[in-house]
Amino acid sequence: MDIFVDILSGMTALADPYVIAFMVGGFLVGTFFGAMPGLTSVLAIALLLPITYTIDVVPALVMCASIFMAGMYSGSITATTINIPGAPSSVMTAIEGNALMKRGFGANALGHAALGSMIGGAIGAVLLMAFMPVAAEVSLLIRTPGKFSLVLFALVVIVIVDKDNIAKGFVATLLGVMIATVGIDVLQPIPRFNFGTETLVEGIDIMPLVIGAFAISEVLMQSENWKDNLSSTLEKAKGLKIRRRDFLPPRSEIREIGLLTYLRSSFIGYGIGILPGAGGSMAAFVSYAVARSSSRKPQEYGNGSREGIAAAETGNNAMCGGAFVPMLMFGIPGDPTTAIVLGVLVINGLQPGPRLLENQAELLGPMLGSLFFSALILIPLTLWLFGPWFIKIVSIPKGLLYTGIAVVALVGSYVATYSTFQMSLAALFGILAYFMRRQNYSTVSMLLGFILGPDLEEYLRRSLSLNDGNPMVFVTNPDSLFFLALTALFVWAILIRKPRRGRTVHDAQDAE
C-alpha cells in the first residue's frame, strides 16, 4: 500500500508545465510515427534517445511512456482509412475498420478505435499501478512449456478463426513461420537457411514483412482500379464534410458492444503484456478472437465489426501497461519499446527490480501517470482535433497518395534496418503478398506466423532439452495444460459448436 501511495504522490509531477510539454510532445511524435507505415514508436523513442541525456529523468520517462501509448493507438488511423496498418498490432483493426470506411463509416470506425484504445490504455495503466508486484509473481509461474502452449494457442486460433479458409490460413501461417527461421538459430549462434549469403545471416526483420505485406501489396491492389483523375478527386475533397461529432460512437453501439467486451479485452491485453516478448500483436489478436467466439453477431466479423475494432484496440493498448511489469520488476522488456525505456532507466542509474519500486516510486509515478493520462485524455483529444484530417487522407488523389506511401514505406523499411537488402525484401514481400491476396490467402496469418514462429520454436526446443526430449512435459505442467485446454476450447467454440439461436443470419442468407 505504501508503494501505491508513493506512486500516486509521484504523479503530482505531471502538474509541472515543463513535464506536460514533454508528455504532449511525445504523444504527437508517437502519433505521427505510429500512423506512418514503416515508422514505429520504437523508432521514435530510439531517435529521441539522445535527448534523454540532456534532460531530467522524469520528463524523459514521461515522454517515452506517451510515445509508447500514442504509437500503439495511432496505427489504427491508416489501418482504417487506407487499409495499411501503421503498426503490426493494428492488423485486426485494418480488417474491420477499413470495411467500415468503404461503407462510409470511417469516422465511426476511428471513434470506436479511439474509445477502445482509451479504455484499454487507461485500465492497463491502472492495473499496472495496482497489481504490478502480484502480476510479476504470476508471470513467473508460467514456465517454458506453458509459454510454448500459449504461443501454440495463438497460432491455432489464427488458423481456425476464418472457418471458410482454414487450409489457406494454415498455409499462410506456416509460410510466416518458415520465413522467420531464416538467419541465426534461436538457441545456437549458427546461421541457417541463408543460402550461402552473408546478407541473410542477420535474418529477416519484421519491418520489411509488415511494409511489404500491407503497404506495398495495398499499392499494387489499388493500382488495378486507379480511375480517379486529379480534378474529380479534388472536387470530392471539397465536398467532403466531416463533423467532429461523427467521431463520437453512438451510445446504442457502445451498449451493443458491451462493457464485458471492453473489460475482458483489457484484462487479456494486460495479461499478455506481462509475458516477455508477447507484444501488442498477440494481445490484439487474442482479444479479437475471444470477442468473435462469444459474439452475438459473428457474421459481421470481416465485414466491418465495431465489436472487433473495440476488442482489438482495447487489447493492444492495455498491453502497454502489462509490458512494463517484467521490465520494471526483473529488467526483462515485455516488447521492443520497453527495451528502449529500460535503456533510459539504466542511463539514469536506475536498476530494475523490487527495490526500484520501494526506493524510486516518486520517479516511476510520473511515467505511469503519463500512460494513464495519454490514454484517457490525449487519445480522444487528438481524434477530436485532427480526426477530420485523418479521414481526408482518402480524398488525396490515389496516384499521389499511394505513390507517396510506397516511397515512405520503402524509406521507412531502410530507416528501421539501415539495410538496402531489407528494403529490397520489402518490395519482394509486397509482390508475394499481392498474389496471395489475389488468391484469398491471408497476409495477416503470414505476419502473425512470422511474429510468433521464433517463440514457438524456442520454447519447444527449450522445453524438450530441459526434459530429456520427453514431450509429456507439455501435459504434466499445469500452466501448459491450461493453455492446451484453452486451445481445445476455442477449437470447439469456433469450429464445432453450433451457432447461438440456431443458424446465424449469414447461414440463413446462404440457404436462401
pTM tops 0.85, yes or no: no
- For residue 505, what pLDDT is reported? 39
What is the C-alpha separation between 109 and 233, in angstroms, rounded? 23
3-state DSSP helix/strand/coil percent for the chain, to nearest 5?
Answer: 80, 0, 20
What is the C-alpha separation between 319 and 270, in angstroms, rounded? 5
DSSP state at residue 205? -
- For residue 43, what pLDDT is reported? 67
Note the pLDDT tens digit of each residue in 130-162.
Answer: 887 676 566 667 788 988 888 888 788 778 877
For residue 407, CA distances in Å to 226, 390, 422, 426 come to 18, 20, 15, 11
What is the C-alpha separation between 500 and 397, in angstroms, rounded? 45
Residue type, 319: M
What is the C-alpha separation between 268 and 277, in angstroms, rounded? 15
Sign of CA dihedral 136, 332, 32, 57: positive
Per-residue pLDDT tens digits of the chain, which is 512 residues long: 565 666 667 677 788 899 899 999 999 988 888 777 656 677 677 667 667 767 888 898 899 899 989 988 888 888 888 787 877 788 889 889 988 888 888 889 999 999 999 999 999 999 988 887 676 566 667 788 988 888 888 788 778 877 778 889 899 999 999 998 998 888 888 888 888 788 888 888 877 887 788 778 878 887 776 554 444 444 544 455 667 787 888 999 999 998 999 999 999 999 888 775 567 778 888 899 889 888 888 888 888 899 999 999 999 999 988 888 877 876 666 666 776 777 777 777 777 766 677 677 778 888 888 989 999 998 888 888 887 877 776 566 667 767 777 787 788 778 767 788 888 898 899 999 999 988 989 887 887 788 778 888 988 999 999 888 888 989 988 889 988 998 898 788 777 776 554 444 344 334 33
- For residue 52, what pLDDT is reported? 72
- Lookup result for grid cell 493453455: 483
SS3 letters across 363-389: HHHHHHHHHHHHHHHHHHHHHHHHHHH
- Lookup result for grid cell 514456465: 143
C-alpha cell at 289: 478472437
What is the C-alpha separation between 472 and 487, in angstroms, rounded? 17
What residues contact residue 232 under an 8 Å CB cut-off, 6+ apart?
none
- For residue 4, what pLDDT is reported? 64
* Phi and psi angles of residue 506, each rounded to the nearest 5 degrees, phi first: -60, -45
What is the C-alpha separation between 219 and 406, in angstroms, rounded? 7
What is the C-alpha separation between 42 and 337, in angstroms, rounded? 5
Q: How many other β-carbons are positioned within 10 Å of the β-carbon of residue 35?
A: 25
What is the C-alpha separation between 415 and 40, in angstroms, rounded? 11
First to last CA, the chain: 62
Helix (H, G, I), strand (E, B) or coil at 219: helix
Which among 282, 346, 421, 482 has a CA at the least distance from the CA of 61?
346
- For residue 80, what pLDDT is reported? 87
Q: How many other β-carbons are positioned within 10 Å of the β-carbon of residue 53?
A: 10
